[in-house]
Structure 1
Amino acid sequence: MTSTTVGLDFVPSFVQDAWWTPETATTGAEVRDASTGEALAQVSTEGLDLAAVVNYGRTVGQSELGKLTFHQRALKLKELAQILNGHREALYEISHRSGATKIDNMIDVDGGIGVLFTFGSKGRRELPNSQVVIDGPAEVLSKDGSFIGEHIYTRIPGVAVQINAFNFPVWGMLEKFAPAFIAGVPTIVKPATPTGYVAAAAVKLIIESNILPAGSLQLISGSARDLLDHLDYRDAVAFTGSAATANKLKSHPNVAQGGIRFTAEADSLNAAILGPDAAPGTPEFDAFIKSLVTEMTAKAGQKCTSIRRTIVPKDRVQDVVAAVQARIDERVVVGDPRAEGVTMGALASLEQLADVRTAVQDMLDAGGELAYGSLDAPKVTRQDGSVGVADGGAFMSPVLLTWADAEAEAVHSREAFGPVSSVIGYEDVDDAIRLAAMGSGSLVATVATNDPEAARRLVTGIAAHHGRVLVLNREDARTSTGHGSPVPHLVHGGPGRAGGGEELGGIRSVLHHMQRTAIQGSPNMLTAITGVWHTGADRNFGDVHPFRKSLAELKIGDAIRSDLRQVTLEDITEFANSTGDTFYAHTNQAAAEANPFFPGIVAHGYLLLAWGAGLFVEPAPGPVLANYGLDNGRFVTPVAAGDSIRVTLTAKKITPRETDEYGEVAWDAVLTNQNDEIVATYDVLTLVEK
């Protein structure tokens, strides 16, 4: 729709660290209030130099983000979350114009802020305070250990272009931005036109906070035009929207042949399966109905994770329909989100309303039957509290369809992206699995059952067709985040029709913005590249005990090698008696000799670890504040009475904390015997003052 309103403001873009709008003579696409039809703004990118936008991200954005470590970027996300958290109400007010209710805003606005908090925390807990991530253990590639290899992740050298859907203008932006930012990759956000003004309001708050480095976030409000023409193998595109648009973008030469990393999250005919045991009156049946109605009406059903196919035992179809009708009649009030008591708002635009009505009519023509709702304009609660048909509003009644033929092609292929779901009946568990798979790949499914065997069969049967499966029963019904709520800790995405990609997934999603590279070289070279000491690299056996060094003084490779300490039978017996660990290998000579792993009575592994600590410890107060654990412990060679052990301790990994006066140090500990055979290996974890 072109603008006919003189003087209607443009939704601004933010590019090259400045706000930009088209020339005043430009006519753009019009954006309207979803509930009233009032013209709000217009949108256009005519005259915007998209090549310069990409270049700015690749140069300034890459340079500025490259000055920060993973932890420093993660802390900025936490700061950003705190800023946005203080402006939630302002974002709510703007978002109401898109048809979003208070609950919808909690999903979108609060959900997006929650993503920032989560990545701000996980980035510091799970990533090193550096710019390189090691993936897996080193592989020894030569007999003498002088040539080794391993995998590392480093950030891609381009930009992350994020093309978002209209339904979640805040969460959809932040769930893509957060992992890209931690990875160190500049973001170019392109929100959907109908609700892009909400995304722009959030970006304005972000920019005004002055938290982000220059070039790390740019916003394109309007058509992406020739944006993909300026991208190449250095860049990544994350798309959320229709499968048709995703396929069009995938066919772009720079994606098909040019190597752009392309991830799509597309149409998804998600399923909810009611288990054979979940009869009316059970907690599982009640939780199932509650979830179904929530997914039909939250965001007016405009969620890529909404339940489109409700798969239930054939003899319970009418029970489900009746329960859904009762819950909607009791709890759902359609109207302007700014009116008191409204629980379901309008669709995002009149165009979207027309699309959904067309899709429902297609499904009716293909054999679906209207079990609840109508395609007529519903009576709604207006902003002033009056009830009637709202002129200009994109309102629609919740619609529930039933199908005589559970295998009808339309129910498994046609998506009405609104408050619409279909109920189909299955014969048995295998039939339910088959029907779920007919969606050709989905983002999420729910299985509602309290029968462990039914849950096992259903989940293992459908998992390969879905990116996420929620198992809903009486134990988690109250605590579950719900069918339609992706969480930043877990993968969001799905196979086949759902796009075949992944978003979120904790640190996995950070790694989506990085290149995994196999590096080969000597232990010294890999130590220099990764900042982590590798077995075989140089050690520094200095005059000062490493535990006497602060974090500022300690260097990777600083080490200590202890004297030998002999283990006696009396030591072993005393340890067995004092701890209660009287396992026969430590107390019974004949039984121990009969064991193929032991030469006779041997020392406890934990005795050796305790003695190892005694061999390397520096007891006087100093920079080492605490020992907080061991990692990667392995016992290799048994130690018999009369053998001796020594420990070699090497500073392996140093992780300063950005917000504390101490950091973590991982020490490579190796116990060897009098013949220099390895007895045990493990990492000692300590907290050390800066």
Structure 2
Amino acid sequence: MTQSPTQIQPNQIRPIQVASFISGQWHAAAGGQEIRDASYGLPVAYVSSEGVDFGAALHYGRTVGGRNLRRTTFHERARMLRALAVYLNERKAEFNALSHLTGATRRDNLVDIDGGIGTLFSYSSMARRDLPDQKFFVEDDVNPLGKGGTFFGRHVMVPREGVALHINAFNFPVWGMLEKIAPNLIAGVPAIVKPASQTSYVTEAVVRAIHESGLLPEGALQLICGSTGDLFDHLEEQDTVTFTGSAATASKLKVHPNIVRRGVPFNTEADSLNCIVLGETVTPDAPEFALFVREVVNEMTSKAGQKCTAIRRVIVPESRVEEVAAAIRERLAGITMGDPSREDVRMGPLVGASQRDDVADVLARLSAEGEVLVGGGQHPELLGGDWEAGAFLAPALLLARDPLNAHAAHELEAFGPVATLMPYSGLEMAAELARMGRGSLAGSIVTHHRDEARDLFFGMASAHGRILVLNRDDAKESTGHGSPLPQLKHGGPGRAGGGEELGGLRAVKHYLQRTALQADPTTMTAITGEYVRGAAVREDVVHPFRKNFEQLQVGDSLLTPRRTVTEADISAFAGLSGDRFYAHTDEIAAQDSLFGKRVAHGYFVLSAAAGLFVDPGVGPVLANYGLEGLRFTEPVGFGDTIRARLTVQSKTAKETREGETPTGVVKWHVDVTNQNDVLVATYSILTLVAREQ
């Protein structure tokens, strides 16, 4: 039986056999790759996927996991994610202890573990706010495809009936998994997670907790620790692959014959040569100068520089090179290194000896084109840990005095605590240097000068997935250069892989099939559950405002009595609102206006329509709290007669907290027409309606 990861304690390491979780069962193969802890070089785990039936795992995910998830709605899945986030949040101490063995400090774990759990919370909130409580998602408004109003089109999104395969890098064993599975689970698609072997024991501990929670349906999440074997040979058209890691590995995987033959979507987030640019206007006494230095040092030392978004190129005005170098050197001198489980340690080791050796090799190659200003082989005092057996590497800062011709600095990434200073002359050169990374996940601009920020942004944007403009105004709330956020896209062009993750609902849509629906209005309403203008409606002697949420049905409609608009109406509304725009109040000026006469205020038409369809008595309609898509299509003048048609467009039940009245949101479509049945205004209103107890 696999030893529980909770038995592992820093400095008292008992190696475990890391297991995979396949087809609802834990599978541990004896032996395999030996994994050593990053600080002391002691064996911590053995990883092997020997004996795993990869084809069966995919089949199980598609059939059991997919079917179970697709039985639920977006909101039900969102509530699963929130409950799971709460459950994992209560077990962070266990995950933190394991993560220290990978070289991660307490500060690093805030990004990886707390950040991963926070992403679950964020996606749960976004899904409940922005998606319907349905098993499908109507993406856009209807598009008329004919002149007669009998043929429309719109896009409907449904879950793909495959598995999301996530291949993750070693640097974020928790966040890397949770930020990927959150969108696919919301979409209703099961996942198989393949973490990097070096830190897979941390991912395994989190998956064990997820399984023990019982919060996800059977088959929703599987785990492969070790080699992927022939996994790619069993992928099918409905599956999706995401990969985080080196650009070289990604380029090999995405051209796997089965990926190409079956057209399997492949999303890449590759390491990139990210940069930060100091504006020309920033002086050493400005707040932005200190912010710049702080960001550089944070990105060099956080996760020991092992972040796909870490700053590799530090682009500064040529007149500020010496001052910036001195400030970075001073700040780096205060960075304590050692055992990452200690509270007084700011930077731990790299993940392992092989990673340290790789970084040292690239550092040597970069040194051939640049001058080493800080680091370069020194062994500062360690607060715990072992220089020989562990994977420590001191931060290194280089200077490329001719950055336009320093090819290594724009081509080679030392995936560790290494950065290169690059002087520039003029903003155009700064932007050119930023683009020479051939595509980056993240870039930062540090300046308080708005024109400078604008010029740099547009000079850099084509080569960057995300750009932070940092200054004294946003510094307190800024999450920093290297922190991907659930609400914003994580990905970048070119070298960075061309992929897109996160970005709010953008990530959920990666796992949904967008299908264009073409139909008549009544059929489209029946399929989508949303009323389309022109569809058949149902009228009742009971006013719709007298019906509760359950009694109301999409298509329930009310055609109001008529009202003739008078000059007195318009004058009274002008006096009441204070809106005396000439087209409403000046007879002579209005004759030369677009309308050729005085016309009613658009908001008067809106108010008059409400007066026609609102039932004034106490009833199940509790509040009106929104209006969407308002368009005034024809003017209304003196003597015109208007009426309104109110129709239930869609319904969404709201979650009920303890002590609250159960309610739902009803969206009503409103068309206002004149005496010639010509549409004069159209919009939707949102009301809060009581549900049955």
Native 8 Å contact 2:159 2:188 kept in 1: yes
Say which SS state the counterpart of residue 584 (structure 2) adopts.
helix
Native 8 Å contact 2:37 2:101 kept in 1: yes
Counterpart for residue 110 of structure 1: 114
Moved more, 135-144 or 453-462: 135-144
The amino acid across from 2:592 in the alignment is: A
How far does the alpha carbon of each residue in 1:24-51 deviate from its partner, in whole angstroms, 9 at most, with x for none?
xx43001111111111110000000010
How far does the alpha carbon of each residue in 1:458-489 deviate from its partner, in whole angstroms, 9 at most, with x for none?
00011010000000111112221000001000
Counterpart for residue 9 of structure 2: none
Counterpart for residue 143 of structure 2: 139
Shift of 1:136: 2.2
The counterpart of 2:310, out of the listed 306, 311, 314, is 306
Counterpart for residue 488 of structure 1: 486
Alpha-carbon distance in 2 for matches of 1:490, 1:667? 31
Shift of 1:599: 4.0
Shift of 1:8: 4.8
Counterpart for residue 509 of structure 1: 507
> Where does the alignment leave 5 or more consecutive residues of structure 2 unmatched?
1-13
What is the 5 A alignment of 1:364-383?
364-365=367-368, 367-382=369-384
Alpha-carbon distance in 1 for matches of 2:223, 2:177? 10
Say which SS state the counterpart of residue 525 (structure 2) adopts.
helix
Say which SS state the counterpart of residue 494 (structure 1) adopts.
coil
Q: CA RMSD in A?
A: 1.2
Shift of 1:153: 1.4
Shift of 1:404: 2.5
Shift of 1:374: 2.4
Shift of 1:144: 1.5
How far does the alpha carbon of each residue in 1:121-154 deviate from its partner, in whole angstroms, 9 at most, with x for none?
0001111111222222211112221111111211
The amino acid across from 2:500 in the alignment is: E
Counterpart for residue 230 of structure 1: 234
Counterpart for residue 680 of structure 1: 681
Counterpart for residue 195 of structure 1: 199
The amino acid across from 2:484 in the alignment is: P
What is the 5 A alignment of 1:66-215?
66-215=70-219
How far does the alpha carbon of each residue in 1:499-541 deviate from its partner, in whole angstroms, 9 at most, with x for none?
0010100011101111211111111221122111111111001
Shift of 1:392: 1.4
Shift of 1:627: 0.5
Counterpart for residue 386 of structure 1: none
The amino acid across from 2:93 in the alignment is: E
Counterpart for residue 6 of structure 2: none
What is the 5 A alignment of 1:432-581?
432-581=430-579
Say which SS state the counterpart of residue 473 (structure 2) adopts.
coil
Alpha-carbon distance in 2 for matches of 1:555, 1:10? 56
Shift of 1:567: 1.1
Alpha-carbon distance in 1 for matches of 2:347, 2:439? 28
Counterpart for residue 67 of structure 2: 63
Shift of 1:391: 4.1
The amino acid across from 2:126 in the alignment is: K
The counterpart of 2:651, out of the listed 641, 650, 654, is 654
How far does the alpha carbon of each residue in 1:320-339 deviate from its partner, in whole angstroms, 9 at most, with x for none?
11100101112x10100122
Alpha-carbon distance in 2 for matches of 1:355, 1:606? 67
Native 8 Å contact 2:318 2:425 kept in 1: yes
Alpha-carbon distance in 2 for matches of 1:629, 1:338? 51
TM-score normalised to structure 1 length: 0.96
What is the 5 A alignment of 1:285-296?
285-296=289-300
Native 8 Å contact 2:106 2:343 kept in 1: no
Counterpart for residue 327 of structure 2: 323
2:615 pairs with 1:608? no
Shift of 1:629: 1.2
Alpha-carbon distance in 2 for matches of 1:205, 1:154? 29
TM-score normalised to structure 2 length: 0.96
Alpha-carbon distance in 2 for matches of 1:553, 1:378? 73
Say which SS state the counterpart of residue 137 (structure 1) adopts.
coil
Moved more, 298-307 or 123-132: 123-132
Counterpart for residue 333 of structure 1: 336
Q: Tell me how many residue pairs correspond in the alignment.
A: 673
Alpha-carbon distance in 1 for matches of 2:389, 2:127? 46
Shift of 1:442: 0.2
The amino acid across from 1:105 in the alignment is: N
Say which SS state the counterpart of residue 113 (structure 2) adopts.
helix
The amino acid across from 2:132 in the alignment is: P
Native 8 Å contact 1:467 1:493 kept in 2: yes
Say which SS state the counterpart of residue 344 (structure 1) adopts.
coil
Counterpart for residue 30 of structure 1: 34
The amino acid across from 2:407 in the alignment is: E
The amino acid across from 1:362 in the alignment is: R
Say which SS state the counterpart of residue 301 (structure 2) adopts.
helix
Alpha-carbon distance in 2 for matches of 1:185, 1:224? 20
Alpha-carbon distance in 2 for matches of 1:306, 1:104? 13
Counterpart for residue 350 of structure 1: 353
The amino acid across from 1:670 in the alignment is: D
Alpha-carbon distance in 2 for matches of 1:241, 1:659? 42
The counterpart of 2:21, out of the listed 14, 38, 62, is 14
The amino acid across from 2:228 in the alignment is: A
| Identity in percent | 50
The counterpart of 1:582, out of the listed 577, 580, 583, is 580
Native 8 Å contact 1:382 1:390 kept in 2: no
Counterpart for residue 360 of structure 1: 363
> Where does the alignment leave 5 or more consecutive residues of structure 1 unmatched?
1-6, 384-388
Shift of 1:59: 0.4
Alpha-carbon distance in 1 for matches of 2:527, 2:199? 45
Alpha-carbon distance in 1 for matches of 2:175, 2:527? 36
The counterpart of 2:402, out of the listed 399, 405, 429, is 405
How far does the alpha carbon of each residue in 1:408-427 deviate from its partner, in whole angstroms, 9 at most, with x for none?
11000000000010001111
Native 8 Å contact 1:378 1:396 kept in 2: no
Shift of 1:429: 0.5
Shift of 1:304: 0.3
Shift of 1:435: 0.8
Alpha-carbon distance in 2 for matches of 1:618, 1:88? 53
Native 8 Å contact 2:632 2:680 kept in 1: yes
Say which SS state the counterpart of residue 198 (structure 1) adopts.
helix
Alpha-carbon distance in 2 for matches of 1:238, 1:420? 27
Shift of 1:681: 0.3
Say which SS state the counterpart of residue 538 (structure 1) adopts.
coil
Native 8 Å contact 1:16 1:215 kept in 2: yes
The amino acid across from 1:369 in the alignment is: E
The amino acid across from 1:633 in the alignment is: L
Say which SS state the counterpart of residue 539 (structure 2) adopts.
coil
The 3 A distance-change label for structure 1 pair 136 and 340 is closer
Alpha-carbon distance in 1 for matches of 2:76, 2:633? 39
2:38 pairs with 1:41? no
How far does the alpha carbon of each residue in 1:264-315 deviate from its partner, in whole angstroms, 9 at most, with x for none?
0012000101110112111111100000000000000000000000011112
Say which SS state the counterpart of residue 193 (structure 2) adopts.
strand
Native 8 Å contact 1:599 1:640 kept in 2: no
Native 8 Å contact 1:154 1:514 kept in 2: yes
Say which SS state the counterpart of residue 63 (structure 1) adopts.
helix
Counterpart for residue 621 of structure 2: 624
Shift of 1:20: 1.4
